[in-house]
């Protein structure tokens, strides 16, 4: 036989659909709860206990909640008994008070009216997402202010905290998810649907990743950067660089970046700090396509996986100082970091052979541990 706890659980599952009917202004109809028609067959006292518990939490006893309809039934084991044949909530008030949702539902209704009166085009969204209304129940005044701003000034080209909206400076950042959902409906023609980032999607300024690079050609350094040779600029500016370059060296570690300045003369060359897997920031640097690209990383599984990632963007990339001869010469029995990667990598046969050795034994040779004179002699080939 169903018990009060199970009735509350089943009623709770109907709460969202009730809220949807409220938005649609549908008249409340009797809400039925399906019960378990079975009953204890061996113990009259147990049966009576269950019946009394069910009645004790009903509207008849508490003044609100579910109503029970009984019918005399001749049972096989317990004789003739009054059994509940229907369980239902007669009124909206009965349901909400029973669930403890009276204040929430009232606030929900007020928020829905506010949203729809401000933006009628959000009516279908509101009907579809009652839980989102409730999750943000205390924020709707500010959320609608933000939406109104974007409706009036799409593509503002400002930083989030520069937006002239009378809300907390961090409000938009903290509520990006719900604001995005609404703006997708309100200004579909003024957003970039391919972008997941809030700032990029709605044409806001944002803090870009910086690309740090060393200029290894003194002439380029003097002619274009007033003699500066260690530079960091936003990725969007780096993508637009127009320098007389022939070669780019991407290095995994910052320490190795400093080493590149003391390499043999490297005409028309720059070295870039790839910062491990952050090489993905470079994937749209189109002018790389016409240059010689060298990647120099640690001789470990991650080093080769990053090489593979970068080669996925620029297939003509060559690795340097990531060969078995270098590894065998300077390996000091250091352990690496295990990897779970199982996909096919963009590696040459010799690179893949070394990668499998490193992966099997969990070995690692950091690029900083390779002596500089060995590095310098190696780069003579590339100068």
Q: For residues 150 and 82, state if they share a domain.
A: no
Using CA atoms, how far apart are residues 7 and 35, in angstroms rounded to an integer? 8
Q: E strands, the chain, where? A: 31-32, 67-75, 79-89, 210-215, 230-234, 247-251, 269-273, 292-296, 318-319, 334-335, 363-364
Q: For residues 225 and 332, state if they share a domain.
A: yes
Is the separation of the CB atoms in 171 and 141 below 8 Å? no
pLDDT at 136: 97
pLDDT at 5: 93
Residues 313-329: b if buried by 16+ CB within 10 A, e if exposed:
bbeebebbbbeeebbee
Of 100, 127, 149, which residue constitutes the final position of a domain?
Answer: 100
pLDDT at 75: 76
Residue 95 has pLDDT above 90, yes or no: yes
Token pair of 97 as six digits: 């008070």
Tell me, what DSSP letter sits at residue 40? -
Distance of CA 194 to the CA centre of its chain: 15
pLDDT at 282: 96
Residue 371 has pLDDT above 70, yes or no: yes
Q: For residues 57 and 108, state if they share a domain.
A: no
Q: For residues 74 and 181, state if they share a domain.
A: no
Token pair of 8 as six digits: 């509350």
Q: For residues 357 and 237, state if they share a domain.
A: yes
Mean pLDDT of 296-310: 96
Q: For residues 124 and 136, state if they share a domain.
A: yes
pLDDT at 255: 81
pLDDT at 37: 62
pLDDT in tens, 122-148: 999 999 999 999 999 999 999 999 999
pLDDT at 38: 63
Q: For residues 286 and 313, state if they share a domain.
A: yes
Mean pLDDT of 192-208: 93
Mean pLDDT of 6-25: 94
pLDDT at 12: 95
DSSP string covering 191-243, please?
A: S-TT--SHHHHTT----PPEEEEEE--HHHHHHHHTT--EEEEEHHHHTT---
Is the separation of the CB atoms in 212 and 273 below 8 Å? yes
Residue 260 has pLDDT above 90, yes or no: no
Q: For residues 310 and 277, state if they share a domain.
A: yes
pLDDT at 143: 98
Tell me, what DSSP letter sits at residue 347? -
Mean pLDDT of 268-277: 92
Range of the domain at 230: 210-379
Token pair of 300 as six digits: 């470990």
Of 8, 24, 2, 6, nearest in space to 101 by CA: 8
Q: For residues 44 and 25, state if they share a domain.
A: yes
Question: Residue 378: which pLDDT band, with cuts at 50, 70 and 90?
Answer: confident
Q: For residues 63 and 190, state if they share a domain.
A: no
**CA separation (Å) from 225 to 211, 222, 269?**
15, 6, 14
Q: For residues 241 and 330, state if they share a domain.
A: yes
Q: For residues 93 and 124, state if they share a domain.
A: no
Using CA atoms, how far apart are residues 314 and 284, in angstroms rounded to an integer? 10
Is the separation of the CB atoms in 23 and 127 below 8 Å? yes
Question: Residue 165: which pLDDT band, with cuts at 50, 70 and 90?
Answer: very high
Of 201, 223, 248, which residue constitutes the final position of a domain?
Answer: 201
Mean pLDDT of 278-285: 94
Average pLDDT across the chain, whole number: 92
Residue 72 has pLDDT above 90, yes or no: no
pLDDT at 257: 84
For the chain, the domain total comes to 3
Question: Residue 2: which pLDDT band, with cuts at 50, 70 and 90?
Answer: confident
Question: Residue 178: which pLDDT band, with cuts at 50, 70 and 90?
Answer: very high
Q: State percent of the chain over pLDDT 70.
A: 97
Residue 383 has pLDDT above 80, yes or no: no
Q: State percent of the chain over pLDDT 90.
A: 78
Of 301 and 382, which is predicted with more confidence?
Answer: 301
Of 180, 201, 222, which residue constitutes the final position of a domain?
Answer: 201
pLDDT in tens, 24-51: 999 999 999 987 666 655 678 888 888 8
pLDDT at 140: 97
């Amino acid at each position: 036989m169903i018990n009060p706890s199970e009735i509350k659980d089943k009623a709770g599952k109907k709460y969202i659909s009730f809220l949807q009917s409220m938005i649609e202004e549908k008249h409340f109809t009797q809400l039925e709860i399906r019960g378990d028609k079975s009953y204890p067959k061996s113990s009259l006292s147990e049966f009576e206990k269950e019946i009394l518990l069910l009645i004790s939490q009903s509207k008849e006893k508490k003044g609100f909640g579910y109503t029970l309809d009984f019918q005399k039934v001749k049972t096989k084991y317990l004789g003739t008994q009054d059994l509940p044949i229907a369980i239902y909530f007669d009124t909206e008030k009965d349901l909400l008070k029973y669930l403890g949702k009276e204040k929430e539902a009232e606030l929900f209704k007020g928020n829905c009216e506010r949203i729809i009166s401000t933006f009628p085009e959000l009516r279908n969204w509101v009907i579809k997402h009652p839980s989102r209304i409730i999750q943000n129940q205390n924020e709707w005044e500010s959320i609608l202010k933000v939406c109104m701003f974007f409706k009036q000034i799409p593509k503002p080209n400002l930083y989030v905290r520069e937006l002239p909206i009378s809300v907390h400076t961090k409000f938009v950042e903290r509520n990006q998810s719900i604001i995005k959902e609404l703006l997708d409906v309100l200004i579909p023609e003024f957003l970039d649907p391919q972008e997941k980032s809030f700032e990029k999607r709605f044409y806001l300024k944002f803090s870009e990743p910086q690309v740090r690079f060393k200029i290894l050609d003194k002439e380029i350094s003097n002619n274009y950067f007033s003699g500066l040779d260690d530079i960091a600029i936003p990725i969007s500016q780096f993508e637009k660089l127009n320098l007389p370059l022939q070669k780019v060296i991407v290095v995994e570690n910052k320490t190795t970046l400093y080493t590149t300045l003391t390499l043999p003369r490297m005409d028309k060359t720059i070295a870039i700090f790839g910062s491990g897997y952050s090489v993905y920031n470079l994937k749209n640097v189109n002018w790389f396509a016409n240059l010689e690209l060298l990647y120099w990383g640690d001789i470990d599984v991650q080093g080769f996986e990053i090489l593979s990632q970068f080669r996925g963007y620029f297939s003509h990339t060559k690795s340097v100082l990531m060969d078995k001869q270098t590894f065998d010469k300077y390996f000091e029995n250091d352990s690496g970091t295990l990897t779970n990667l199982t996909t096919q990598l963009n590696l040459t046969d010799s690179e893949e052979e070394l990668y499998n050795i490193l992966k099997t034994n969990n070995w690692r040779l950091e690029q900083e541990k390779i002596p500089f004179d060995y590095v310098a002699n190696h780069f003579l080939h590339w100068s």
